Amino acid sequence: MANRKFDFIIIGSGIAGLYTALLAKEAGSVLIVTKGSLDECNTKYAQGGIAAPIGHGDSAELHYQDTMAAGAGLCDPEAVRILTEEAGDRIADLIDLGVPFDTQFGTVALTREAAHTVPRILHAGGDATGERIEVTLSRAVHESRNITIMEHCLATEIMVQDNVAKGIVAFDSQTGSLIEFISPSIILATGGAGRLFKLTTNPEIATGDGIALAYKAGAEIVDMEFIQFHPTAVRFPGIPPFLISEAVRGEGGLLRDVEGHRFMPDYTPDAELAPRDIVARGTVAQMKKTGSDRVFIDVTHLVRKTITTRFPTIYRFCQDHGLDITKGLIPVAPAAHYTMGGVRTNAYGETNIAGLFACGEVACTGVHGANRLASNSLMEVLVFSKRIIERSKGNMKSPGSTPKDDIYSKLKKHNTTGIDIPLRLSRLQSLLWDDAGVVRSKEKLDEASLTLASWYETLGTPTDRPYYELCNMVLVGRLLIEAALIREESRGAHFRTDFPEPSHEWEKHIVFRNKD
């Protein structure tokens, strides 16, 4: 490329990267760097929809209360207020861009999902919301003259001088060469780290690259112990987990065990509509009780037309694998789904490094706390991406700093003598699933901590994309495990058998920063 200087560099091409690029192009030149193709992202797998308090009887205050309750005491009230109060305007932006939300009787159709007190979930194409948004934004980006796209280009370093981001180094997978790009505004939009786990609803690209990049550059990483495990991913032999949307339970789907018993009322009065962490743990407990590796979602009592029109993607997927869900039960089990923690930002998407921003799943804005409320993720992207660009243009005042009662830590140094377990991706994923999954304990976390530390010490210099990703996953895995060891309580998505109850003393955040 002749020009390697841009006003904005955006790393990632999901809804966070694309939407931010469309906003940024009005303020200057934009480069999107993405390690795969432009449409390779988590966004298009988002089935349920996007939450906004725009329906009759709903309000920003109700949405705020639901979000705070789901977050189990760790949400940032300011961030949640921003999300719920600006949500309506961001929906209008998507409609202006051409996102075809489903309608009913001439108005946008709304459905309910778990832990929402009222229907407030907009959807498109039934259960293809993420895909419809991604396609709409991708088309707009391709039509823009002020956005340059670098595909198959993996960011490997954020260049920082005197705590100011100056640019990035990227690995071009097609040529095998490293390229430098310069910009005063670097925006991380790389998504989460679900591929750390053996069972996940995330695509292969979700390897935590942005978190690793930011940590190595000196940015603060927070809340890494909070990984959301979706309670209902398809469990077919030989088939990777496939998400069965929260909205299926919102429309009346029931969870049954292998004996046909509807079990969630045994665990919580909210039954199938409890927050995801509660449903996931209830599911795991029932699987253990019945000696099975799965439970089932039952929608056979719903009207056939409702199932086929509201959930066409799920219906077709199951049909392709020999199951008619209008007549038979869907086998499901929990799978890693969403990274609540990540690169710490303020209400303007700023990190502790000047010129470095983060948005979407890679960021930790404080909206989700210890357990994300269903369908808040896409809205978080829209709201805080907008604020990043407005802040970079000088349209928003400098935020004040609020003292936080947090625990600052750094990765431990272990004596790993005698540990000789060869590093392989499958071993890493099994380790995280077995030792840091839905249910955790100090014994298992300690074992994982030692193994990951030994792997970290043996990492060599990457020469291809898979090894860059593996190195990032080892680092992010260490951050997750160490945070889970430090938090000696159970809260939201983090559950420890040796500390099974929440503690008021732990209403604080665990923050890692690479002092080196």
- Tokens, residue 7: 């006003």
Select 229-336's CATH number: 3.90.700.10, 3.40.50.300, 3.30.565.10, 3.20.20.70: 3.90.700.10
Q: How far apart are CA 124 and CA 310, in angstroms?
A: 9
Task: State residue 45's pLDDT score.
Answer: 57
Task: State residue 415's pLDDT score.
Answer: 84
Cα 38 to chain centroid distance, Å, stands at 18
Task: State residue 328's pLDDT score.
Answer: 97
Pairing of strands 342-344, 363-364: parallel
Residues 6+ apart with CB under 8 A from 47: 127, 128, 129, 130, 243, 245, 247, 311, 313, 314
Q: What is the pLDDT along the chain (516 residues), one digit of tens a residue?
A: 556 999 999 999 999 999 999 999 999 999 999 999 886 655 555 566 899 999 999 999 999 999 999 999 999 999 999 999 999 999 999 999 999 999 988 899 999 888 899 999 999 988 888 888 988 999 999 999 899 999 999 999 999 999 999 999 999 999 999 999 999 999 999 999 999 999 999 999 999 999 999 999 999 999 999 999 999 999 998 898 999 988 899 899 999 999 999 999 999 999 999 988 999 999 999 999 999 999 999 999 999 999 999 999 999 999 999 999 999 999 999 999 999 999 999 999 999 999 999 999 999 999 999 999 999 999 999 999 999 999 988 777 776 666 568 999 989 888 888 788 899 999 999 999 999 999 999 999 999 999 999 999 999 999 999 999 999 999 999 999 999 999 999 999 999 999 999 999 999 999 999 976
Element (H, E) at 229: strand 227-234
- Tokens, residue 229: 């495990």
Residue with tokens 């019945």: 290
Q: Are 436 and 445 in contact (CB under 8 A)?
A: yes
Q: Which amino acid is at 283?
A: T
CA distances for 328 relative to 188, 260, 296, 320, angstroms = 43, 12, 10, 14
Q: Which among 83, 109, 164, 174 has a CA at the least distance from the CA of 352?
A: 164
- 3-class DSSP state of 448: helix
Task: State residue 42's pLDDT score.
Answer: 52
Residues 6+ apart with CB under 8 A from 168: 9, 11, 33, 155, 156, 157, 158, 159, 180, 181, 183, 186
- Counting Cα atoms < 13 Å in the Cβ hemisphere of 469 gives 22
Catalytic residue among 90, 276, 440, 487: 276
Residue with tokens 């993720």: 377
pTM of the model: 0.94
Q: Which among 236, 243, 481, 457 has a CA at the least distance from the CA of 341?
A: 481
CATH of domain 408-512: 1.20.58.100
Task: State residue 403's pLDDT score.
Answer: 57
Domains of the chain, by residue range, sit at 229-336, 408-512
Cα 243 to chain centroid distance, Å, stands at 14
Tell me phi and psi for residue 466, to 5 degrees. Answer: -55, -40
DSSP result, 243-262: B--HHHHHTT-EEE-TTS-B
What letters, b where the CB count within 10 A reaches 16 and e where it falls short, cover 302-336?
A: beeeebbebbebbbebbeeeebebbeebbbbbbbb
Angle, helices 465-486/209-217, rounded to nearest 10 degrees = 70
Neighbours of 238 (CB within 10 A): 5
Cα 421 to chain centroid distance, Å, stands at 30
Tell me phi and psi for residue 160, to 5 degrees. Answer: -125, 135
Task: State residue 105's pLDDT score.
Answer: 83
Task: State residue 467's pLDDT score.
Answer: 97
Q: Which amino acid is at 393?
A: K
Q: How far apart are CA 116 and CA 194, in angstroms?
A: 24
Q: How far apart are CA 437 and CA 318, in angstroms?
A: 26
Tell me if residue 276 is catalytic.
yes
Q: Are 88 and 383 in contact (CB under 8 A)?
A: no
